[in-house]
Structure 1
Amino acid sequence: MHFNWKSSVLPRVAFLAASIFLFTLFAFSRGNWLYALLFLAVSTYQIKLLIDYLDRSNENIASFLDSIQFDDLSYSFKTESDDPSVRKLHQELNEAMLKLRNSRREKDSEFLFFKNIVMHVGIGLIVFKEDGNIEIFNSAARKLLKVKRPEKLNDLLVVGESLVHAIQKLKTGGRELVRLKIGEEFLQLSVYAIELTLRGENVKLISIQNIQSELEEKEMEAWQNLVRVLTHEIMNSVTPISSLAAIVEEELAPYVNDGNNQPLSKEQLGDIHLSLQTISKRSDGLIHFVKEFRSLTSIQKPKLAQLNVRSLLEELILLHKRDLADRNIQLIISVYPEDLTITADKNMVEQVLINLLRNAMQAFDDQENRTIEIKASVNEKSRPIISVKDNGTGIEPEAMEKIFIPFFTTKKSGSGIGLSLSRQLMRQHQGTLTVNSTVGVGTEFFMRF
């Protein structure tokens, strides 16, 4: 059914026009004022009827719009009018109101459905407005933080100021680890934020997960890997030291007795001297190893400044220009946008780039086409990324899991701390260092700030 206002208004307008025409005819052409007054009265009455009809229609439409504005979709219009056009308009408005009620019912059902999902999902979820009023605080968040239904964000200060501070400062895509003690339990909370617009208002969705057990598992795995590497490296030095010390002791034992006054032979002295030299070298190597290990545990906080990425990479090229030429390696650099900047400690970022570039330079066998490409850009979250890519031999899958473990190395002359140190330096910048590699194709490292 479709309401046609023309079928109701046009006859009234036509009848009004005819009445005005007849009034004009009798009043001015024929001078019959009796008929003229009659048709004037009829015209006036028609004008009143038309105005009343339009007023009723406007009132009905206004009532319909008010019902929508004030969410009163239960309102209905009477369809018992004697005027078929009014009856038809009311039927159309009732049908539109019914469709709106059904649409509202479906949306409310969907909202309740998703709200139930949010309330019972296993991850702690908090939704709050810009003024700090909490809209959603699901059951997982209540169990995790051990609080009842808070109304404002500041109500969570009893849980921990560090948590509230992290929630307030995080932007879309931001993530932070927060350590809390709730009761007798220590929690490592992974806090993630997304900013949304809900019903015309800006809100922030916070997800909270306790990753204490996962961290403990990873920490144990990291310690096991580290102890394994440390044991290997220390034993490589201590075993020959112990063995050579035993040999020297065995050579000297007969000569320390009171009854033996014979001097050592030249050959014996030579063997002892060689053993002591070897012991000294292995001891120096062990001291160097300890110093390198200490460097991993004494990283200072970064001194942040705005750095132009193009200038940073050009300094890197200048530093390695000759070495690249000697190795016949082509270095390609691209920066987009050209004025890309990062907030970082220059010395630390330079150290990471130098480590990655040197690794890339050592990734080639006897191939003729040697290319290293350094790209700087921003990702979909407007965060800077610097990648270092080579077309070298690639990294074996079994080694991929270990390359960031301190002192693990696949090179004969490598110390094994470069990548581990680089990852720690990136973490100091709240960033990440990751790698993709395919054997026979090449390797690409990603510095994400």
Structure 2
Amino acid sequence: MNRFAIGIVVRIGGLFLLVGLATYLWLMRQGLITRSTIVPTLTMPLLIVTGLFLLWLVTNLYQYVTGINRKLTFFLESVRYSDFAITFNANNKLGPSFAQVNQQFNEVLEAFRQARAEKEANLQYLNTIVQHVSVGLLAFDASGQVELVNQAALKLLNTYRLRMLSDLEALHPDLPGRLTGPGRQAAFAYAAGQGNDLAIRTTDVRLRGRLVTLASLQNIRSELQQKEVDAWQNLTKVLRHEIMNSVTPLVSLTGTMQTILEHDIAENMPTDGPNAPVLTEAVGDLRDALATIAQRGEGIMRFVDAYRHFTTIPAPRLADVPVSALMQRVAALVRPTFDEQNIDLRVTLPDALRTIRADEAQVEMILLNLLKNAREAVERTPNPVIHFEALPDAARLTIRVADNGPGIEPEALEQIFIPFFTTKKSGSGIGLSLSRQMMQQQGGQLTVDTTVGQGTAFCLTF
């Protein structure tokens, strides 16, 4: 017999003894028992004491019998409310079977603790991944309450906090309707401003009976720009091929005609006679005409051949480039020219340890081109100032070249990155196109911000 059964027998036996004693005392109190060793005046106090002992024993028996139920209830409540910090004493006061029950309770709670810790670790791991992916992720329920949003989505939407989709109405009035409206598209493009052209895809997921919408946001501005550059490159290749195929034979034939003119016609032309002056003048005019054709043909060939660089940019050689040293070197190259024209060049360097992953030679070429453009933009500006500065933050670094020149007209702003477009009297019109293409190949961006009458700022974002 285990200890629990012994405890039950002992308590029931004690209960019967106390009931018998109480009955005996009560009978004495009623005078039904006259012969007794107990003093009659003590029957009432003894009856009260016996009753109290009897009540205590009944209560103890109830608690003793229902103790396992209380433990089971306590265990189930801890599971229900995910409180796995409690433990049960694995003792043998009630016997080995109860010790095994307590031990099993503790093992089950430990399994729950481990499962919850693993779940929290997985959620933390998943949340870290979600926060670090470059694609914006946004999850919201049917009421528009945002349940998940990562930093990429906040940056693309130009906001720092998002709790309800209605919070977007101030910046993007039509976006909440396109995400939740009855005519919602599974995939659509959206111009979010700040240089962000977004490709948005949505899908519905049912979680425990609730409908949750998951939206992914990706900035396709760089892809659109790359497609535009590819289109211009293909057009340039075709034009270059056709022009060279047409002009090269003309230049060659012009050279042949010049040889014939000099060696066959001019040498055998009569020097006297009535027609000699006319022939001499005609040969001179023909010589000038052929020379002009040859000169212009060779000029066209050089002009077209110069644009082969637009379609043959070498692949970048990426390395860790110290930004401060790079900017100091570029500033030293342009400062003599700036000083000659009394241009105030203001350089703001980042932390000396800050680096970017880029092709140093290409970035230097881009910066020199932007500074040259800024210098030309302020030629007629009183008190010209050019800012050459680094704007670092935690995730990226931006190098900014800003001037206080006349700015760029809106109609020209849309075309400045188009190959061969230029607002200058002299210039090829491919400098900015090449610069943007080189930045795209390095995973960066070249953007422009301008205000007519106040100035222009070009930004390289790495």
Q: What is the RMSD computed on CA atoms of the aligned residues?
A: 5.5
Note if 1:391 corresponds to 2:393: no
Pairing of 1:183-202 with structure 2 (within 5 A): none
- Which residue of structure 2 aligns with residue 363 of structure 1? 377
Choose the corresponding residue for 1:373, options 387, 399, 412.
387
In the alignment, structure 1 residue 428 sits paired with structure 2 residue 441: yes
Q: 2:187 aligns with which of 117, 123, 129?
A: 123
Name the CA distance, whole Å, in 1 between partners of 2:143 and 2:355: 44
Aligned partner of 1:415 among 417, 421, 428: 428
How many angstroms apart in 2 are the aligned matches of 1:227 and 1:400?
A: 25
Residues 442 and 286 of structure 1: is their aligned pair in 2 closer, same or farther, counting only changes over 3 Å? same
For residues 325 and 52 of structure 1, do their structure 2 counterparts lie closer, same or farther at Cα, with a shift above 3 Å needed? farther
Q: Which residue is equivalent to 1:334? A: 348
2:52 aligned with 1:39: yes
Q: Amino acid of the residue matched to residue 445 of structure 1?
A: F
- Residue 320 of structure 2 contacts residue 357 of structure 2 at CA under 8 Å; is this kept in 1? yes
Given the alignment of the two structures, is residue 322 of structure 1 paired with residue 322 of structure 2, yes or no?
no
CA gap of 1:50–1:333, structure 2 versus 1, over 3 A, is farther
Deviations 1:177-227 (A, max 9, x none): xxxxxxxxxxxxx899xxxxx99xxxx98679999x989995897479869
How much has 1:271 moved relative to structure 2? 5.3
Letter matched to residue 456 of structure 2? T
Distance 2:267 2:294 in 1: 29
Aligned-partner residue type, residue 288 of structure 1 = R
Task: Tell me: CA distance 1:320–1:280, structure 2 relative to 1, closer, same or farther (3 Å).
Answer: farther
SS of alignment partner, residue 446 of structure 1: strand
Residues 366 and 52 of structure 1, relative CA distance in 2, 3 Å threshold = farther
Look up the SS of the partner of 2:428 in the other structure.
coil
Distance 1:63 1:342 in 2: 57
Q: What is the deviation of 1:445?
A: 1.2
* Aligned residue among 316, 325, 333 for 1:302: 316
Change (3 A) 1:360 1:425: same
After superposition, residues 60-79 of structure 1 pair within 5 angstroms as 60=73, 62-67=75-80
Q: Is the 8 A contact 2:401 2:458 kept in 1?
A: yes
Pair 1:437 & 2:450 matched = yes
Is this contact kept in 2: 1:303–1:345, CA < 8 A?
yes
SS across alignment from 2:332: helix
8 Å contact kept, 1:226–1:406? no
Counterpart of 1:360 in structure 2: which amino acid?
A
Separation (CA, whole Å) in 2 of partners of 1:367 and 1:354: 20
Q: Which of 345, 351, 354 pairs up with 2:368?
A: 354
With over 3 angstroms needed to count, the CA separation of the structure-2 counterparts of 1:300 and 1:442, relative to structure 1, is same
- Tell me the CA shift for residue 329 of structure 1: 1.4
TM-score, normalised via structure 2 length: 0.50
Kindly tell me the number of residue pairs found equivalent between the two proteins.
296
Q: For residue 418 of structure 2, what is the aligned residue in structure 1? A: 405
Deviates more, 1:340-349 or 1:216-225: 216-225
- Please report the TM-score for the alignment, with normalisation by the length of structure 1: 0.51
Cα 1:206–1:324 change in 2 (3 A) is same
Q: Aligned residue for 1:282?
A: 296
The match for 2:307 among 283, 286, 293 is: 293
Q: Give the counterpart letter for 1:305 in structure 2.
A: A
Give me the whole-angstrom Cα distance separating, in 1, the residues matched to 2:355 and 2:226. Answer: 36
Structure-2 separation of matches of 1:258 and 1:324 = 57
Distance in 1 between the 2:330 and 2:295 partners?
34
**Fraction of identical pairs, as percent:** 32
| CA drift at 1:400 | 1.6
**Contact 2:391/2:398 (<8 A) preserved:** yes
Which SS does the other structure have where 1:362 is aligned?
A: helix
Q: Distance in 2 between matches of 1:225 and 1:326?
A: 41
Where structure 1 has 5 or more consecutive residues not aligned to the other structure, the ranges are 1-29, 71-106, 125-174, 176-189, 193-197
Corresponding residue of 1:138: none
Distance between the aligned counterparts of 1:359 and 1:395, measured in 2? Answer: 12
Name 2:270's counterpart in structure 1: 261
SS in 1 for 2:377: coil
Indicate the residue corresponding to 2:110 in structure 1: none
Are 1:229 and 1:407, in contact at CA under 8 Å, matched by a contact in 2?
no
How many Å separate the matches in 2 of 1:224 and 1:400?
A: 23
Whole-angstrom CA distance in 1 between matches of 2:351 and 2:363 = 19
Conserved? CA contact 1:225–1:405, under 8 Å:
no
Classify the secondary structure of the residue corresponding to 2:456.
Answer: strand
Distance in 1 (alpha carbons) for counterparts of 2:65 and 2:397? 68
Which is higher, the Rg of structure 1 or of structure 2?
Answer: 2
